[in-house]
Chains A and B, each alone.
Chain A
Amino acid sequence: MSQTIVIDPVTRIEGHSRITIQLDDRGEVVDAHFHVTQFRGFERITQGRPVHEMPALMARICGICPVSHLIASAKAVDDIMAVEPTPTGADLRRVINLGQIVQSNALSFFHLSSPDLLFGFDADPAVRNIIGVARANPGLAKDGIGLRKWGQQIIEWLGGKRIHPEGIVPGGVAFQLTAEVRDRILAGVPEAIAAVERAIAWYKSDMLRWEEEASTFGNFRSAFMGLVDRQGNVDHYGGWLRVVDADGQLLADKVDPKTFNDYIGEAVEPWSYLKSTYWKPMGYPDGLYRVGPLARLNVAERTGTPRADEELEKFRWRVGRIASSSFHYHYARLIDTLHAIEKIEEILRGPDILSHHVRSVAGINRSEGIGVSEAPRGTLMHHYKVDDNGLVQWVNLVIATGHNNMAMNRAVLQVARRHVKADRLEEAMLNRVEAVIRCYDPCLSCSTHALGQMAIRVQLLDAGGVVLDELAR
């Protein structure tokens, strides 16, 4: 009898989801799906709202990455107003966005993934968690918390609030930066750099242990997409879209992000609320591509900051010019973080950063606008249409987790084929399937967390959906 294993919900990712693994009559994995069971609904509930409210509303999509939605939303409204933010306003947006990159990457690596890396996938889950990390390697845990706090402070000091900041507005930012706040942020840079460099050193010293695991951990050929600046460096805020194939050949370069609809399609599958995006020239599902920290390093020539570039060189020496294993998202995420910290310092030391010209003002000048930026998890696109009064008529959000949807499914299938057998429902095996999803750090958002809600449930179903077996932890 064919069977299905269900892991529901997946732990240590943002939001709720589940994984089903389809087994055939012999107990071999024949298919796997990463289901997103939550309905975000923002594209509907924002219809009819004044467009200038959109950045603040969009920031509420998520408590982990509000700034990413705020940035992309503000850029879309800039487009509708046909206005360019002032140079200082754009720079301050960049700094807030990079603060977001630092704190979110830190949560992903130190809090969510380091337990697997420190203790191994076969370790007892009672130990393999952040408390276990705090006991076994308190320096690593403190570094993660310190980076989180520093990133959050940047958002709070520049954005007005830590969780749902309102300092990013159409046309730029709401607040002029003071020398006191600038210096307070800069004072934390040396230790932030030291913290992430300690983590990189630890990861590199340990990564050989994971070489075999990485070879089948979502390791497949795919395209990669990310934003780059005019020099081809990583750009988290603006620049052009670049897409490379699995060999590093350019599929597209210098693409105006506002034309993304010409290149990116969205497919809907009945088993998930999450749309699957694909590279239109290659069609669906062949046009699979990946975004996020690994993609950013794969598409760019360099990061553009010295310490991160030095680490990037070592990264490429170890894993190749185009890293294909999803396992390497962890390593890439640390280099991405190092670059973000260096870039924050570079921007804050700019001569005009304290200028009072932080916002351009305009009205409704277009009926349609697109904003694109790099979120921690990858490229984020907001597309709005408004009426003559500036009331929102239509919204489409193409989120990083959607770009990675096909890749996550491919990765789950590969890991499941290697580790899942019908007669064994072991913690370590199931955790590997979850862990490959965590490499992408998916954000499914709109999570609730009322007491008593979170648990993990593993179900074994037959082809007709009847529960044959169930495990919980």
Chain B
Amino acid sequence: MTTAATGGSAPAATGGVLVVGYGNELRSDDGVGPAVAALLAGDPRLAGADVRAVHQLTPELALDASGASLLVLVDAAADAPAGEVSVKRLDPEAAVGEAGAAMSHHVDPAGIVGLARELWGVAPPVVVVSVGIASLEVGDGLSPSVEAAVPRAADAVAAIVEKHGRA
């Protein structure tokens, strides 16, 4: 695509911070990313940021990411203790290298960075906020320990965005 009408060649003109919480809300704790995004949607600390809750990362997010100054991703972590909130800055150089090896039905954070850089020549810094989970069973609620971690994860995102704003 080559016109702004369909968004193919020009980066989305977000210019600011893009926060994406992702996961399947009907697989219990996998929905923690969207839950954090929902909590942040009206948060004054993120005024001006583009906050989204999505089922999974998909390639077109690279277009929006390429126009952002910071991308914060919030996801469930199956390999961490339930309720543990961790923050990891993605190394953009290493990310592009990793992206090629693990492409699947969704795009991983490295894939988003890689696509943005390859196609539009620019990628924002990416910070991944992960929440350790207890269950991936079918169901639309979070485990108590994960539910309790949602405000902490939201605070972590807000702190990242505020720090970015001061920089």
A residues lining the B interface (CB < 8 Å)? 11-15, 39, 41, 45, 60, 62-64, 107, 110-112, 115, 125-127, 129-132, 134-135, 138, 141-150, 152-153, 162-164, 187-188, 191-192, 194-195, 446-455, 473
From B3, B25, B77, A60 is in contact (CB under 8 Å) with: B25
Q: Which residues of B in the span 12-37 have a Cβ within 8 Å of any Cβ on A?
A: 22-27, 30
**Digit string of B97-117 for contact with A (CB within 8 Å is 1, else 0)?**
001111111111001001100
* Known contacts A142-B9, A150-B7: A191-B1 contact under CB 8 Å: yes
State whether B8 touches A163 (Cβ < 8 A).
no
Q: List the 3 shortest-distance A-B pairs measured between CB atoms, nearest first.
A: A63-B55, A146-B1, A146-B8
From B24, B59, B77, A447 is in contact (CB under 8 Å) with: B24
List 26 interface pairs A-B (beta carbons < 8 Å), by A numbering.
A12-B104, A15-B105, A62-B55, A63-B24, A64-B105, A112-B105, A126-B101, A130-B111, A131-B96, A135-B118, A145-B8, A145-B115, A146-B8, A147-B1, A164-B55, A187-B5, A188-B6, A191-B3, A195-B8, A448-B76, A448-B136, A449-B23, A449-B30, A451-B79, A451-B130, A455-B102
State whether B58 touches A448 (Cβ < 8 A).
no
State whether A446 touches B105 (Cβ < 8 A).
no
Residues of A within 8 A of B103 (CB): 11-12, 115, 129-131
Closest to B120 in A: A142
Given A64-B55, A146-B9, A451-B77: 19 more A-B contacts, CB < 8 Å: A39-B138, A63-B54, A64-B105, A126-B101, A131-B99, A131-B100, A131-B118, A142-B1, A146-B6, A146-B7, A149-B8, A188-B3, A191-B1, A446-B24, A447-B105, A448-B23, A449-B24, A455-B102, A473-B101
Complex formed: what's the CA distance from A195 to B8 in Å?
Answer: 9
Complex formed: what's the CA distance from A132 to B115 in Å?
Answer: 9
Residues of A within 8 A of B75 (CB): 449-451
Among A11, A39, A110, residue most surrounded by chain B Cβ atoms (within 10 Å): A11
State whether A446 touches B27 (Cβ < 8 A).
yes
Q: Which residues of B in the span 123-139 have a Cβ within 8 Å of any Cβ on A?
A: 128, 130, 133, 136, 138
From A14, A112, A126, A447, B100 is in contact (CB under 8 Å) with: A126
Residues of B within 8 A of A130 (CB): 59, 103, 107, 111, 115
Complex formed: what's the CA distance from A110 to B111 in Å?
Answer: 15
Among B60, B101, B130, B136, residue most surrounded by chain A Cβ atoms (within 10 Å): B60
Residues of B within 8 A of A451 (CB): 75-79, 128, 130
State whether B7 touches A149 (Cβ < 8 A).
yes
Residues of A within 8 A of B111 (CB): 130-131
From A45, A111, A125, A195, B59 is in contact (CB under 8 Å) with: A111
Residues of B within 8 A of A112 (CB): 105
State whether A142 touches B138 (Cβ < 8 A).
no
Closest CB in chain B relative to A175 CB, distance in Å: 20
Closest CB in chain B relative to A10 CB, distance in Å: 9
* Known contacts A125-B101, A131-B114, A135-B118: A448-B24 contact under CB 8 Å: yes
Complex formed: what's the CA distance from A115 to B7 in Å?
Answer: 22
Closest CB in chain A relative to B8 CB, distance in Å: 3
State whether A12 touches B105 (Cβ < 8 A).
yes
Residues of A within 8 A of B24 (CB): 63, 446-449
Q: Which residues of B in the span 26-55 have a Cβ within 8 Å of any Cβ on A?
A: 26-27, 30, 53-55
Residues of B within 8 A of A115 (CB): 103
